[in-house]
Amino acid sequence: MGTLDEIQRLNDGQFHRLGDDLLRRSESRYRRLRTHGLNERGESIKGQPDSYVGETAATCSVAVCYTVQRSGWWNKVVQDVGEAVAACPMATGVVVVIPHNADRDGPQDKTIDWLSEARAAAGKAILRVIDGREISQLLDTDHQDLRHNHLGIPYSRLSGSSILASCRMASQTAIDYIRGSGRYDPERYSHRSSDRELYRVWQSAYRYNDSSDRRVAPIRLIALVNDSGVGKTSLVCELTRTLGAVLPVLLIQARDIEFGPEDKLVAAVINYAQGFLDPSTRVIEEAALSKLLSGSVPLTVVLDGLDEAHNPEAVRKAITFWLRSKLCQVSILVVTSRREFWQTCVDSSWVKWMPTSNLDDRSPVKVAERLQVEKSDPAAGLPLPDRFNEGELEAAWLRAGRTRSELAILPADAREELRHPFTLRVFLDLQMQEGLSPKKVTRAALLECWLNHRLDAETLTSERITRSHFQQALRMVASRIAETSHCSVSVDELSEVPRFDSSHPPGPILQRMIEAGILESLPNQSDRIRFTVETVQDFYRAEADVEDIKSNPAHIAEAFSQLPFTTAYSRLVRIGSRLIGEDVRHEFIQRLLEASPIKAAIVVRAHPDCYTAEVRTRIAGELGAQITDRHRVRAAMAITLLGELNCQEAIDVLGKHLLPPADLHNDLKSLGATAFTKLSYAPAAAFVYRWQWFGTRQGNDTYYFKDLLAFIRDATFEFRLALADQSVLQLSSATGTKEHVNAVTVLAYLGDCRLVDHLASRLTQNVLLEHYENHALIALGSDAAGRLFAQSVKAIGDRLAPLPDDHANNDARNELIGLVHFVVSDVRYLLTPAFEPHIKQLIENANPDVSWIAIHLAKRAHAVSLLYPAAIAASKRSGWIELDHGEERSCVSADEWLRWWRQSTDVAIRQKLLRLLPRYPNAEIEEILLDCLDLPELCASTATRLGEYGAIRSAPRLREILSEAVTTDDQSAKSSAAHALGDLRDVAAVPLLEKLATEHSDEWVGLQAIASLGLIGNSEAESALGRLHQLQKGDGIEDHIFEALLCCGSPTAVAEVIKHASSRLDGSEWLCERLGRLSWMRGWRCGEYYTHIYTAELVDYLKSHCKLGSPEKNWDIGDAFRQIDSPEVRTLLQKWGNRRGSPEDAVVRESDQRRLSDMCYWELRNRGDISAISYTLDECADDRDDIYVARAALLLQTFPTAAVANQLQSRLNVATTISETLRMLALLGRFGQQADAELAAKFVNHANDLVANVACETMLRLSDPLLVPGRWREM
């Protein structure tokens, strides 16, 4: 049965969908065709038009009619045309689409001229008839993908669409398999920085595969190389899913290819790419596939899990052959591998095809980032993905359906472990399957879960290799390593390992562990192995410890007593959980307690009830004795451990040392309040209420700490009731008093519903609620709290309504808005699903002030569910409420944004949605943005986003926009297109940009073109700027041209700028001003620098011509190099900085008498130049000691820590005052190395109590850091 026959079998709805898809493809004027005559189920409905081109049916320019009626279809056509014209009076064209052969299947009575009747019915509109023959021809020739999708007919020849369809089918099969194994779930996948980085590198590969740019060699191989379990497979699956929606992407698992012959990879790709072809027409020539891909978008081949091929030599040959093949010339190959396997299979010849840098050499970047890239080895691959950062962990946690409070209650070390993606997945699965409580999660427990799953994945039933074999082997390796002074062991020393093979050491058990990435061979020493991650080594060392304890508890206890606490900690935690049920635990803990009570506490902490009351009493007593130690850091550690030792003995000791009449240091009392909260000790409620810092600040500002929220709300009912009673006693205090602030804040921490009624009465009494009262309602998070908060905001809105938004009323309005304006970040985890509907109602409120307040809260809280309502509200109040490209974009995922986009077709709403685009796109978003370039209302903001994203595919369309004549209405669009082409470094755009700048030099669009020429910066762009300079005379335009030449950065371009400066009387001042404006078109961030600009002659000119004058002029001189970095620039800055204290050191700011040397050292510090360390240590000298330490520690972070430590050591050795000694000791604790602990130890017994305490803290931080509780700082 032929294509025409299949078309004629379609029903109304099916034919309508086929016709719409085909029309959009066939001609550009139908690209914006909108479906009108189908319901949500895809069924045809009565009425005309069936589809149209335009904003509405009544105003459309083209009306489309479909009919599949068999008998008398020509009469139906005439009727439909008449109805369409009546419904679309502004239509200039009517298109009729029928499945019949208009000539052969027409009326038998040849006197019936139905076509003339239809034209008459169309009136002034032009009629076009597309019949079944034309549809069939289009489907059989250019649109076989539509033929396959709608009619199920296989592809009959190799084509771009058949390649795309085949790749989608093969990739979906691979994704389905991976999803079934649990390694990828698009529903739970959480995007992170690795997705953005991979997409950016892919964009670079796309750019450099384009033959129009040969400044950099083409990128044809992207290798993602990292440890197991960090999410390499899920990362490339997500790339395939999103990129493959619009471009040919083929995902292959390496395990599915039988590597052997060197052409195996090429053959596999060809086979997959022809999957949708009819078998009888399938071709095998690589040249045919390469020819089709040439000149179009490249094929992206993703080869996942190279290490699963287990044959590095064969993989090396296959990839080498691929890189030399014709197919490689039109493709991008993305591979993933574990480090160990990659090191054995990578070939040095591949480097020229791999990305040599993660940075655009013409973009400003931070010095540290550029240094990191310069030190990286391209052959090592990209270390993607990495572990989650804190924000990514939270996003993944929430994506899995968990709450922020559940995450906050986890111990810090457990959260740290969950930053490993595999560990997080295992934990979430266990929670779902076994109901694992977050409160009981420890780092050791997570490690055990992670390792058990990893070992289970490596078991081989056919060879009878089980998890216990792996565990036994790993315990032995850990023990052997511990017995040596090295971090590795020779395989010849592991003969007792299960299945050890002396002929092929170390045998199958350890070899599987090496291939799994748990163990690794030393580089260049393949006969020695070690643990890939030291934490895993400690874990199995503890497992071995448990076995040793069973045989000799006294000896092991003595051995642990000799170890530093930090070294022993993870092993002790593991021992504590593993010894339960073992009778030997009592002897072991008695011996350990005699030598080190604090280590014994770590073991007992796991299950205090499993040890005798005598042991618990002794441990608590020993820790209690440290509470009165002179050195508060030891007391702090003791209090912290007692708070985690969930037993009555610990409570009794804490009560004795902390509750009245005891009188400890206030900071220790605050720590004690936290300990009592963790222990839920109700009698200490009054103490907790007084000494716990609940985040109240000066001016009655409040802050809700998420970990404290979790501790308090997780406490027992008895404790929460006792703490609430303390608050209720103060609730009657006057609004705004310290007593009332504390009472309200504590009740909010508790989530006590009584607070709603109290604040409702205060709202009635005072008409408005104070800022801290509104904040407390958000912290409560209940439906009732949300309802009252909405009332409070509306009351403020009523007060704002009569006040015009002008300068005269600015203070009064800001004072009112300030009551519900939250700049603190705690609202991100305070806003609850129960509270959000009330914010949504406020967003939709008719009062624009109320709506603005609610939108600001939604953005500040990163409440994704509220951003779409915010966009709708903003679209209705243009100019009043604006979505401002803020940080809220970071919480918007690509999938969420796409859902919003599809939800609304209103152009005004879509304008706002373009401001909420995610920080990094996927290919589907790029496709939407490319379509938006055709809409005048969206073109400008769309072009800007495409440039920001680095969307190379948009360059041809952006050039088309520039090639059209500039009109008054499209200046903004052309300006944005010029801006974007500069961001894309599009060399092909240079002639268009030059023409635009020539014709519109005095307009914004011309200035954008000039700036973009500077960013492109090749020889053609530089020549174009030279020609523009010859044509344009006048300071305004000339200045922009010379700024662009500076951005070009070549010696000839810089020489031209210096030549012009030399011709001016104010040459040095003029040049400083030009340097200061390099980034004025695109913005600038402190600490980011252009490094491609040739500066030798530039620096020489300024050094010899700069003349100091007024403070404003001197400031411009000091500010000249804030955007450029080079050795010559640093030398000049150092020279000017060394004038400090001399008459030549000019004033740059009158208000605080800042000098030119200050500015030079600021710039050197931003660059991390060690010459500015001494200045930084002196800069804050007049501050109070604690403020000095905080400020200096922040400012010193840009320098190498070793260089900072050297300066601190030198100053500490010669310090003559208590203040100087305190400052250097405190900073040494932040920047010193382990060897510096000896220097700090000299001050531990200092006569000054504060010096002694700071010295002890520093000594412990550097020598045994886990003995310092988290967040403890003396200064």
- Is the per-residue pLDDT at 390 higher than 80? yes
Axis-axis angle for helices 936-949, 923-932 (nearest 10): 140
- Confidence bin at 500 (pLDDT 50/70/90): confident
pLDDT tens digits, residue range 1200-1218?
999 999 999 999 999 999 9
Which of these ranges, 248-262, 597-611, 1253-1267, has the smallest mean pLDDT? Answer: 248-262
pLDDT tens digits, residue range 169-185?
899 999 998 888 778 98
Q: What is the pLDDT of residue 211?
A: 41
Q: How far is it, in rounded angstroms, from Cα 839 to Cα 790? A: 7
Q: What is the pLDDT of residue 851?
A: 95
Q: What is the pLDDT of residue 131?
A: 95
Note whether 749 and 779 are within 8 A (CB). Answer: yes
The H-or-E segment that residue 1250 falls in is: helix 1249-1263
Axis-axis angle for helices 144-151, 12-26 (nearest 10): 170
Q: What is the pLDDT of residue 1230?
A: 94
Task: Spell out the alpha helix ranges (H) of 968-1110.
Answer: 971-983, 990-999, 1004-1016, 1019-1031, 1035-1048, 1051-1062, 1067-1076, 1096-1105
Residue of 341, 319, 342, 343 lying closest to 331 (CA atoms): 319
pLDDT average, residue stretch 772-798: 97
pLDDT tens digits, residue range 652-689?
999 999 999 998 999 999 999 999 999 999 999 999 99
- Tally of CB atoms within 10 A around 1184: 11
Note whether 428 and 421 are within 8 A (CB). Answer: no
State the DSSP code for 526: E
Q: What is the pLDDT of residue 376?
A: 53
**What does the CA dihedral 1128, 1130, 1135, 1137 come to, rounded to 10 degrees?**
160
**What does the CA dihedral 437, 443, 448, 451 come to, rounded to 10 degrees?**
120
| Bond into 506 cis (ω within 30) | yes
Note whether 135 and 99 are within 8 A (CB). Answer: yes
Place of tokens 């009330």: 838
Place of tokens 């595919």: 953
- Confidence bin at 230 (pLDDT 50/70/90): confident
Of these ranges, 138-147, 515-524, 919-928, 1254-1263, the one predicted with the greatest mean pLDDT is 1254-1263
- What share of the chain in percent tops pLDDT 70? 94
Q: Where are the beta strands (DSSP E) in 873-960?
A: none
As a three-state string, the secondary structure of 602-651 is HHHHCCHHHCCHHHHHHHHHHHHHHHCCCCHHHHHHHHHHHHHCCCHHHH
pLDDT tens digits, residue range 935-990?
889 999 999 999 988 888 899 999 999 998 888 778 899 999 999 999 988 999 99
Q: Do domains 160-380 and 461-537 have the same CATH topology?
A: no
- What share of the chain in percent tops pLDDT 90? 57
**What does the CA dihedral 1198, 1201, 1207, 1211 come to, rounded to 10 degrees?**
100
- Is the per-residue pLDDT at 290 higher than 80? no
pTM (2 d.p.)? 0.81
- Is the per-residue pLDDT at 214 higher than 50? no
Q: How far is it, in rounded angstroms, from Cα 139 to Cα 1266? A: 70
More confident residue, 984 or 161: 984
C-alpha atoms less than 13 angstroms from C-alpha of 1081 in its C-beta half-sphere: 27
Mean pLDDT of the chain: 89
Residue of 428, 477, 470, 472 lying closest to 449 (CA atoms): 428
Number of H helices, E strands in the chain: 64, 16
Pairing verdict, β 221-225 and 126-130: unpaired
- Is the per-residue pLDDT at 209 higher than 60? no
Residue of 261, 257, 281, 255 lying closest to 269 (CA atoms): 257
Which of these ranges, 131-140, 492-501, 522-531, has the smallest mean pLDDT? Answer: 522-531
Report which residue type is found at 332.
I
Q: How far is it, in rounded angstroms, from Cα 1025 to Cα 1010? A: 7
Task: Spell out the alpha helix ranges (H) of 645-737.
Answer: 648-658, 666-679, 685-691, 706-714, 717-728
- What Rg do the C-alpha atoms of the chain give, in angstroms? 36
Q: What is the pLDDT of residue 216?
A: 44
More confident residue, 1087 or 1015: 1015
CATH number of the structural domain 461-537: 1.10.10
Q: What is the pLDDT of residue 493?
A: 86
pLDDT tens digits, residue range 704-724?
998 899 889 989 999 999 999
pLDDT average, residue stretch 456-479: 87
Note whether 851 and 873 are within 8 A (CB). Answer: yes
Axis-axis angle for helices 1127-1137, 1156-1166 (nearest 10): 140
Q: What is the pLDDT of residue 213?
A: 42
pLDDT average, residue stretch 251-258: 91
pLDDT tens digits, residue range 401-418?
887 777 877 777 778 778
Q: Where are the beta strands (DSSP E) in 441-518?
A: 489-490
- Is the per-residue pLDDT at 56 higher than 90? no
So what's the architecture of 160-380 in CATH? 3-Layer(aba) Sandwich (3.40)
- Is the per-residue pLDDT at 52 higher than 50? yes
Distances (CA, A) of 75 to 79, 133, 614, 1085: 6, 20, 101, 69
pLDDT tens digits, residue range 1073-1127?
999 888 888 877 788 888 889 999 999 999 999 988 999 999 999 999 999 999 9
How does DSSP assign 1009-1044, residue by residue?
Answer: HHHHHHHH-SHHHHHHHHHHHHH--SHHHHHHHHHH
pLDDT tens digits, residue range 936-945?
899 999 999 9
Q: What is the pLDDT of residue 764?
A: 97
| Bond into 312 cis (ω within 30) | no
Give residues with Cβ within 8 angstroms of 874, minimum separation 6.
855, 881, 882, 883, 912
- Is the per-residue pLDDT at 465 higher than 80? yes
Which of these ranges, 98-102, 374-378, 473-477, has the smallest mean pLDDT? Answer: 374-378
Distances (CA, A) of 624 to 127, 153, 351, 598, 642: 95, 81, 61, 11, 8
Distances (CA, A) of 707 to 686, 711, 1267: 20, 6, 21
Domain boundaries, the chain: 3-151, 160-380, 390-441, 461-537, 553-611, 694-883, 1168-1267
